[in-house]
Structure 1
């Protein structure tokens, strides 16, 4: 029942998005459709909670008279309760259903909708939830020409979206949070797949998220905190929660892009993460880190591959980078993210990060940092090669590096080559469940497996000059079958005899016709 409801919900939501976005790019329409779904979620949740509070009085939230003295007093009481429990409040006249109904009746609702979204944010001012709702609907510009050339055209489109969403029942007793949250996650992924080259900046494919989450929690399922310095839509943080055994897990993240930052906060709330349990910040993690004094039980990330950063020499005085003596190149910030993440990881935690293959073997400053991480710090625990073309917008091969700070001096490093295990898709290759299990089984066994995994000693890493290129450790070469020379000679003789027989047949045929060649033309 739950699964069927979820699949139907996904189908309806995507159909609505696909039908109504018209000529607008997926990137643009994403912010509108996801924002309005979020508004409906907040509205339905508030309505149910307020009805619960009013149950003993035999009242319904939607029926309260906002203009009467008694109604105002009741609303004040409900506001106090909902701000504490939900973190926000708005009036009955501002419920999603009310505006959707007015829009369906042909009324102009754009200005009222803008006011409602502003009121939701304003209701949190002075409350503990204020930071998590601040600017949450900034990307919903209802005056944008992308929605239509005239106010009436824009109003008609938005009214259509509200009407379609209003007809969907998001509520399924005791399970609606996971169902709607997962459907929301599905929509994020669907938009990412069609949003062009920058899509990977806000969404990590589901199986990659699952792999990182399982690796980060494998030795500590009871972790209390998880951090993602490039959290995008927050999907990776939420995936870790599914693998952890702590319903009070705290989420920390930072995201540079403002619209994606808003998406991450919405995603947290849609998955019923209370505002007191997440701290997502909007800024450049490498240049302006917001959680520098904190340490986390798990750190996971899918940073933008080979991004540019300042690489300012001043960073060498920063605790994140000072020990390594050199900075990641200005045009390749991969190791800058790695060192930042390690700084935020506590002494007993685990870190898992997706990176381009270049970090395994590039020299100069990156080679120096890599050697320091392995030889001097002894933080590297695993190197896992992934298939090419599994991320939206880029076909490059990638790898997962796993680090922890509690390794012993003689601990080995596990190499896994999973690059050949995937299903070919239309636009992207896909890691299947069985491919994931193959990787996790090798991680659990931690032993050499022919053509798939290799356990490398510290001495072997040193002999390879700390080059981590996977083929140096996992031999996937397939020998061809030995050539049977006698059989080849026999086949050549048979071929020669066949050709002679053919020549004799052709000669006899020509003689019978009285010509010298089958290609001779006779008048």
Structure 2
């Protein structure tokens, strides 16, 4: 069986495991339970694996390993005068940043379900105990409130305790029957991403809160990791100020030589989505030491303000044309003060852009998804756009097809920004007409994506697809960046052969005359038959 087939089977099995929850709530709600339970099972297995590595017990079966784990965490056992419990917990905290008691392991809870001894309070306590285990550790902020959205007392799970218990029990058993860990970390991580994408599809417009389609992430990731100018071409720091599920950060890591060298930074306003981002990163084998994800309002209060506060790459898919507080006091904010004006209260698009640009290193690259209005809207937005162009910050404008996001059907674009460009040109790419039509969303194929990235790298004009505009050309257009001003996609109508049209009309007239004669003849035959029939009677 190929890895692709294994991955596909794993994805489908995980998606089917939510059947016990689907009848009582919508996708945006049962997402929290399914993804939370998968993650808790992952953490349980990770604890056992860390214990095995710390004690050179990798050759044990899972049952043998669990028995040893339980024995070592027995408070009365000692080795050379040291409590095995203390040694074990210290080792787990150093390696994973948390520890789980044997009674709280996912497999132990499943055993209780199978013996009809399980109560929801046991799972509730297990989730709480895991968080408590991180108190006083550097990992605490990464685990604090992580399972807050797994509300085991919600009536949406069922109207009675028995119904709620049954829904969670069935889901846990279904997950336990799936071999989550017989694959490498990438397969499991990809399966988790698949689930997030499926939930985004079911959630519709709500999906904008947590998911950027993989195809868009691929374009941004390949561009921001391209042609690093420093001696060390490895990106080491990434920042997403509207991090969502963290998928954009993780996608960037796939395009570097050594993802283990990357530190991930992000901020997310929605608490549920913030929890999902932390789970997603850790499930993709990102150490708690390498992630700094925060729950907060990116525009309201600048973060990060401590080192590092500028990054090798900034990536972002912020909420489009969101409202924000643009009080005049923000003109003193170092993120916005160089532009003299603030983006409108009803359209925070440029506020997100300027925030990201402020946190970009001089030799870094930024990619941000925005609506087309940022290219041509006037007033204050026009002044900000002009200043960005005069300062030579805008590197490329990439127009995407309509209806490729779950959250909106409007066409969007990717803006690429730099602080240290080698020329004053802007690359315009109109990729809006090249896509594969899907049932609910349009899709960019691998070839579509490759063409966009290749065109960006080569920076040459492509007929009806791309144009490299010099600064004077943009200035002549009053700093309007609307793509049709630079990429002519007009397809002329074919010349009409008047003589051929006349001949065609004449042929049609002749054919109609012939048909009419046939119809008249058949009608005459019918009339004659009727008359003869009447005479016979």
Calculate the TM-score normalised by the size of structure 2: 0.91
Cα distance per residue 1:31-60 (max 9 Å; x no partner) = 011011010000001112213333469873
- The 8 Å contact of residues 234 and 264 in structure 1, kept in 2 or not, is answered as yes
Please name the residue that 1:44 is paired with. Answer: 45
CA distance in 1, matches of 2:512, 2:165: 80
- The 8 Å contact of residues 283 and 289 in structure 1, kept in 2 or not, is answered as no
Q: In structure 1, the residue corresponding to 2:40 is in which secondary structure?
A: helix
2:282 corresponds to 1:269:
yes
Change over 3 Å in CA distance of 1:415–1:514 after alignment to 2: same
1:476 to 489, 493, 499: 489
Please name the residue that 2:199 is paired with. Answer: 191
1:230 to 215, 219, 242: 242
CA distance in 1, matches of 2:315, 2:407: 21
Q: In structure 1, the residue corresponding to 2:414 is in which secondary structure?
A: strand
Change over 3 Å in CA distance of 1:479–1:92 after alignment to 2: same
Give how far 1:429 is off.
0.8
- The 8 Å contact of residues 62 and 93 in structure 1, kept in 2 or not, is answered as no
2:416 corresponds to 1:402:
yes
Change over 3 Å in CA distance of 1:43–1:488 after alignment to 2: same
- Equivalent residues in 2 for 1:360-399, closer than 5 Å: 360-375=375-390, 377-399=391-413
- The 8 Å contact of residues 54 and 61 in structure 1, kept in 2 or not, is answered as no
Change over 3 Å in CA distance of 1:51–1:505 after alignment to 2: closer
Q: In structure 1, the residue corresponding to 2:300 is in which secondary structure?
A: coil
CA distance in 2, matches of 1:14, 1:56: 33
- Equivalent residues in 2 for 1:185-264, closer than 5 Å: 185-220=193-228, 222-246=234-258, 247-264=260-277
1:296 to 286, 311, 316: 311
Give how far 1:3 is off.
2.8
1:144 to 154, 170, 179: 154
Change over 3 Å in CA distance of 1:47–1:67 after alignment to 2: closer
CA distance in 1, matches of 2:336, 2:185: 41
Change over 3 Å in CA distance of 1:2–1:513 after alignment to 2: closer
Output the aligned Cα RMSD: 2.0
Please name the residue that 1:164 is paired with. Answer: 174
CA distance in 1, matches of 2:368, 2:427: 15
- The 8 Å contact of residues 20 and 171 in structure 2, kept in 1 or not, is answered as no
CA distance in 1, matches of 2:19, 2:340: 51
Q: In structure 2, the residue corresponding to 1:46 is in which secondary structure?
A: helix
- The 8 Å contact of residues 17 and 174 in structure 2, kept in 1 or not, is answered as yes
Cα distance per residue 1:148-191 (max 9 Å; x no partner) = 1111111111111111111222223xx53211111111111111
Give how far 1:368 is off.
1.1
Please name the residue that 2:85 is paired with. Answer: 75
Calculate the TM-score normalised by the size of structure 1: 0.93
Unaligned 5+ segments in structure 2 are 529-537
Cα distance per residue 1:106-133 (max 9 Å; x no partner) = 2232111111111111111111111111
Deviates most, 198-207 or 13-22: 13-22
Change over 3 Å in CA distance of 1:513–1:199 after alignment to 2: closer
Q: In structure 1, the residue corresponding to 2:252 is in which secondary structure?
A: helix
2:366 corresponds to 1:351:
yes
CA distance in 2, matches of 1:473, 1:272: 44
- Equivalent residues in 2 for 1:482-497, closer than 5 Å: 482-497=495-510
Q: In structure 1, the residue corresponding to 2:18 is in which secondary structure?
A: helix
Cα distance per residue 1:290-342 (max 9 Å; x no partner) = 21351000000000111111111111110111111111111110000000000
Cα distance per residue 1:269-302 (max 9 Å; x no partner) = 1011111111000000000222135100000000
- The 8 Å contact of residues 170 and 176 in structure 1, kept in 2 or not, is answered as no
Deviates most, 100-109 or 255-264: 100-109
CA distance in 2, matches of 1:108, 1:270: 26
Number of aligned pairs? 511
Please name the residue that 1:334 is paired with. Answer: 349
- The 8 Å contact of residues 212 and 248 in structure 2, kept in 1 or not, is answered as yes
Deviates most, 113-122 or 55-64: 55-64
Give how far 1:499 is off.
4.1
CA distance in 2, matches of 1:142, 1:507: 81
Unaligned 5+ segments in structure 1 are 516-523
